[in-house]
Structure 1
Amino acid sequence: MEFQEALMRLIIHKPVKKGFFVETHKQSEKQKWKVFSFRRLSKQEIPREFLCPICEYLMNDPVIVSSGHSFERSCVQACNSLAFIPTLMDGTIPDFSTVIPNLALKSAILNWCNKNSVKPPQALDFFSAEKLVRAKMDAQQEEKGLIQRIKQCPSVNFMNQAAIELTLPPSHLSSSSEESVDTTASTPPLQFTTRPGFCPSSSSSSEMETLNLNSNPEVEELITKLKSPQVFEIEEAVISLRKITRTKEDTRVELCTPRLLSVLRSLINSRYTNIQVNSTACLVNLSLEKVNKVKIVRSGIVPALIDVLKGGFPEAKEHACGSIFSLALEDHNKTAIGVLGALPPLLHLLRSESEWTRHDSALALYHLSLVQSNRTKLIKLGAVPILLGLIKSGHMRNRVLLILCSLASCLDGQAAMLDSGGVDCLLALLRDNELESESTRESCVSVLFALSHCGLRFTGLAKAAGAVEVFSQLENSGREQTKEKARRLLEMMKSKEEEEKEQVNWEELLDSG
């Protein structure tokens, strides 16, 4: 009996220990799997020094340059190839004269990845880096151009302008934009940028901004006038606001509050020329500051800007196009602008009588097309035949080719270009040397290179259009990137021809029995 009792105690207690051991073992297995399972992190979770300042990706092969900055090696190579020196977020300019591998940073990145169960970064190939650098070049160049045009805008006597507009009949106001702020005929209209938005949520930051705004009696008086029932007072206030935001850059961030943006949103669609033109110009000035772009988007102004694109005064349309273009520079805004319906009016304005409206529309479409959802929308809207028609007419070929490069990165875009005669059109430009610059030529070759992924169909169309001769000429002249792509296109076409010859002729085989 004593032996049986002892045995029962052993049987009763041992499973508890065994169960504890098994549970502990399971926990360790879970921890073990947790170490080896990779996860994806947002850029906010990654240490800033691990991201390349140009491509903003986790660096795989970091190098340190003469100025002390660290970059991904392929991005530095692309910048040197394109002779581009970027301006970094802190305003500094790097020196790419010397490139040294940053082994310490690479080791730190790999250790951080292992510690945080993050998949090690993949190498960025040269062509992808080149595409990112080109986009950064366009964005930086256009932003500088916008700021320069704003600084060149002369001051005006808004008292006389307001008085003139109030004395004009409504029919005159709706048919002319000469009553806008800039009355000098030789002075070009302003080009601006803003971002799309939605209704802002209440937050401590917006409350602080409102308090700061209210603490300034001059600004408070300005907002009171903007809400005035008297048209003359509104005109005076909006023109004054435009002047302040143009000349006092340091006040743009302080002025860009939900309260002010809400007032401007109600003025954008005004039936008075001066009010509509100057309110859109104010938005452009405010949007030049990077921190303001998202605020403007969240204020719900983009639908009003789209209404101006569809039926506003001519000068207001120019400012609205510039605003949409500026907003589209921000990656987080691209999808929102497309969803809100900016693509159809921008496509229509590619044929506007105003040169600046056409150019800003094209640039806005290019930056919006960098998002897949917008590419799909543009293709369904019939953008490809429109863009090819502009190329044939010689209008804005450089900007239009950038849009086609983006559309050619998806299968639907490739099919639409082949259906619309894109291969013949582009090869004709290259054959006749009708492209005005080497960068335009390179963009043209890039579109054809993207279309070559369609395989035999592209090969047949290109061969019929005399592509072999064109690519052979390009292989011996132009930039290195153009030569490389032309060489690869020739190799691809040759391999496809050999595949065709090797294919069995089934009809002949069946006839022979």
Structure 2
Amino acid sequence: MIQKLDRNDRRVLTFPAVHPCESISPATLLGSLITLSRSICDHQRKPFATQKRNARESIRQIGILLLFLEEIQDRGLNLSNSIVLCFSELHLTFQKLQFLLQDCSRDGSRFWVLMKSHFVSTQFRVLIRAVATALDVLPLSSIDLSCEIRELVELVAKQSRKAKIELDPEDEMAMKRVILILNQFENKFEPEPSMIKRVLDYLEIRSWSDCNKEIEFLDEEIELGSLDADDREVPLLSSLVGLMSYCRGVLFESSVFGKTEQTDTKCSFEMVGCLNPEDFRCPISLELMTDPVTVATGQTYDRASIQKWLKSGNLLCPKTGKKLTNTELVPNFSLKKLIQQFCSDNGISLSKSRKNNRDITRTIVPGCPAAGEAMKLLAGFLTGRLCYGTHEQKKKAAYEIRLLAKSSIFNRSCLVESGTIPPLLKLLNSNDPSMEENSTAALLKLSKHANGKKVIIDNGGLKPILGVLESGLKLEVRQIAAAIFFYLSSVPDYRKLIGDFPGAIKALVELIKNGTNCGKKNAVVAIFGLLQYHPNHQRVLASGIVPLLVDLLGTPDRDDLTTDSLAVLAALAESINGAISIVETDTALPSIMKALASTTSRTVKEHCVSILLSLCSSCGRDVLAVLAKDASVMTLLYSLVTDGTSHTSKKARLLIRLLQKFHETSSSCLANAVPREHFIHVQ
């Protein structure tokens, strides 16, 4: 009956218990009660950082009732309707108690359960009283039990009515200490490490890994809260994230964190694209925009996020900090269509994305003042470690920055303002692979911040980043460096700087040639960014990139790499030299036509049509002759006229006209040639 109580989508301290149906058989109900009771008793072996007495008393009582239930099952006793009704109430109560014990013993939930101590102790009291109520109305005299078991059940009923289920004084003292610490943070006063250590010791949080588990749990609770549209607890959750982040970075800096240090250089973390999700994310929620709107400063946000920002009394543009001259929100239909196209091509559900929107307080601004001040203190500490710490301290500081800058604009802002970028750039020359990786990954996260890009450039960051791109100790690190170049190239002025920088384009092309699939992709999109500055076209062509891009079109199981390669080819084809270079690559035209015929992606179709149109315009009859020989091309183009995007449809129509004109010209030449031949023959 109870398949799985530990539901992954359940918020902690919520108890979605289900009442047994009225038609349930007594044997099934009894068996499920026994299973639940045993599961509850198993918690006796689990550690409880808080609520020790309440948990122990609850488990003890359920253990006694387990003996009672097992005897009924062993003796095969018949259960009357009144007994089944009582057991149904017990079943509901046992489910809730199971949820409560899971939460109190769950890894990573110690701080949150401590701060909810009053609520948790109340829940224990309510559930134990519910057991007493069910036992009070249980017709025990009608059940054929042994005297010992009967006396035990009566004892449990009596004790559960009188049990003192209350808040442990030590839990309350620890909770008050946490509140004092958070108040000190809020007042911009750095708490005494000894005071924080007392709380950590009480909760048995003794390592970097323990702190990290607490942070991950608290972040998950905030996410689940946003799913439930319940943000009342976000300030407290955010303050605890700030406290635990501070503890992880400052108090456990000498701890071994290598076991928890999981590399996040996998494709899903460090891979970017020409149609990059970062461009479609709301600067406030950091999620895909479902209804993009533009404000007076020209910046675009998701409607729900910017409305919440404005309703909270903020009249500044979240991204630029400039005062809004008006609060009018203008729908951005073009961007909305692009996002929908991107989601369609990549199998992303917009409704799911909408549900996963993070709360505004975790991105642009801190979730609460205490969290903000804790982050600022931590950023300053990490900057000091990067500048003056030992080798190991510098390595750990770089890793902490990498984690902190991953998901919050506010964190990135604090880290940039505290001066972390210059020392991180110096660490890129390290011979330690872990140091190089953490420093490069941290810079990648910070390069997503507008000020971060500027600081990198102003501090001569191109040279050390290029050094990693050219000769990084691991291919994965080189792919991260390529991603940094991509984000830097989003600033128009920096495209020229990177294009002029000796060896930059060559190094990106080399990564396309020899890198991992993710490295190839990052290098391709970095090139795409540089091509937005037209003088870079000739430099890119001179690097011999076209044959490499054509080879990537056949990459198995990597549609995203094909898409980005086509995007770069489409950009290059816009110039005559680029078009000639593509045509002169023997396999280029067949590969592009094959991609057009085999893809279901609207983006790929648009890139293919753009390339073919540019090639026909620049290289004329040679390309048209090849296309004209393939009867399927015209059919594909006609389908795009009706089913493609407005841009694709327009280009398809132009290409159809060129092909029709080519056919007409060819037919005319042939018709004129036949009489002439006949006339000569007669003569």
Residue 579 of structure 2: which of 401, 414, 418 is its match?
414
Question: Who is 2:605 aligned against?
Answer: 441
Distance 2:513 2:392 in 1: 35
Question: Who is 2:284 aligned against?
Answer: none
Distance 2:511 2:444 in 1: 18
Q: Aligned partner of 1:495: which letter?
A: K
Matches within 5 A, 1:484-503: 484-499=650-665
Identity of aligned residues (%): 20
Aligned residues: 324
Question: Who is 2:495 aligned against?
Answer: 334
Distance 2:290 2:615 in 1: 27
Q: Give the superposed CA RMSD.
A: 4.1
CA deviations 1:5-52 (Å, max 9, x no partner) are xxxxxxxxxxxxxxxxxxxxxxxxxxxxxxxxxxxxxxxxxxxxxxxx
Distance 1:265 1:247 in 2: 21
Q: Aligned partner of 1:252: which letter?
A: R
CA contact (8 A) 1:284 1:319 kept: yes
Could you list the runs of 5+ residues in structure 2 that have no partner in the other structure? 1-279, 281-288, 305-332, 357-375
Question: Who is 1:18 aligned against?
Answer: none
Residue 236 of structure 1: which of 386, 396, 412 is its match?
396
Matches within 5 A, 1:423-462: 423-430=589-596, 433-454=597-618, 455-462=620-627
1:298 equivalent to 2:458? Answer: yes
1:231/1:84 CA distance change after superposition, 3 Å: closer
Residue 383 of structure 1: which of 545, 552, 558 is its match?
545
CA contact (8 A) 2:290 2:336 kept: no
1:265 equivalent to 2:425? Answer: yes
Distance 2:637 2:412 in 1: 53
Distance 1:335 1:344 in 2: 15
- Provide the TM-score with structure 2 as the length reference: 0.42
CA deviations 1:295-330 (Å, max 9, x no partner) are 222221122111111221233223212212211222
Question: Who is 1:359 aligned against?
Answer: 521
1:479 equivalent to 2:639? Answer: no
Distance 1:229 1:255 in 2: 17
- Provide the TM-score with structure 1 as the length reference: 0.54
Distance 2:466 2:383 in 1: 24
CA contact (8 A) 2:341 2:603 kept: no
Question: Who is 1:120 aligned against?
Answer: none
1:249/1:492 CA distance change after superposition, 3 Å: closer
Question: Who is 1:317 aligned against?
Answer: 478
Distance 1:418 1:349 in 2: 24
SS of the equivalent of 1:372 reads coil
CA contact (8 A) 1:252 1:289 kept: yes
SS of the equivalent of 1:490 reads helix
Distance 1:298 1:333 in 2: 11
Distance 1:284 1:303 in 2: 15
Matches within 5 A, 1:55-204: 85-86=291-292, 88=294, 90=299, 92-93=301-302
SS of the equivalent of 2:405 reads helix
Q: Aligned partner of 1:443: which letter?
A: H
Residue 274 of structure 1: which of 413, 430, 434 is its match?
434
Q: Aligned partner of 1:413: which letter?
A: G
CA deviations 1:119-175 (Å, max 9, x no partner) are xxxxxxxxxx9799869998xx99x9xxx9xx9xxxxxxxxxxxxxxxxxxxxxxxx
Q: Aligned partner of 1:494: which letter?
A: Q
1:434/1:251 CA distance change after superposition, 3 Å: same
Q: Aligned partner of 1:435: which letter?
A: T
Q: Aligned partner of 2:475: which letter?
A: P
Distance 2:489 2:395 in 1: 29
The Cα shift of 1:361 comes to 2.0
SS of the equivalent of 2:624 reads helix
Could you list the runs of 5+ residues in structure 1 that have no partner in the other structure? 1-78, 96-128, 152-215
Distance 1:401 1:133 in 2: 20
CA contact (8 A) 2:380 2:418 kept: no
1:306/1:356 CA distance change after superposition, 3 Å: same
CA contact (8 A) 2:579 2:615 kept: yes
Structure 1 runs (4+) greater than 6 angstroms displaced: 129-133, 135-138, 501-505
Q: Aligned partner of 2:595: which letter?
A: L
Q: Aligned partner of 1:377: which letter?
A: R
Q: Aligned partner of 2:572: which letter?
A: L
CA contact (8 A) 1:86 1:137 kept: no
1:305/1:436 CA distance change after superposition, 3 Å: farther
CA deviations 1:422-447 (Å, max 9, x no partner) are 333222333xx322422212221121
SS of the equivalent of 1:269 reads coil
CA contact (8 A) 1:268 1:280 kept: yes
The Cα shift of 1:471 comes to 4.6
Question: Who is 2:628 aligned against?
Answer: 463
Q: Which has the higher contact order (CA 8 A, sep 6+)?
A: 1
CA contact (8 A) 2:602 2:645 kept: no
Q: Aligned partner of 1:423: which letter?
A: L
Question: Who is 1:250 aligned against?
Answer: 410
The Cα shift of 1:414 comes to 0.7
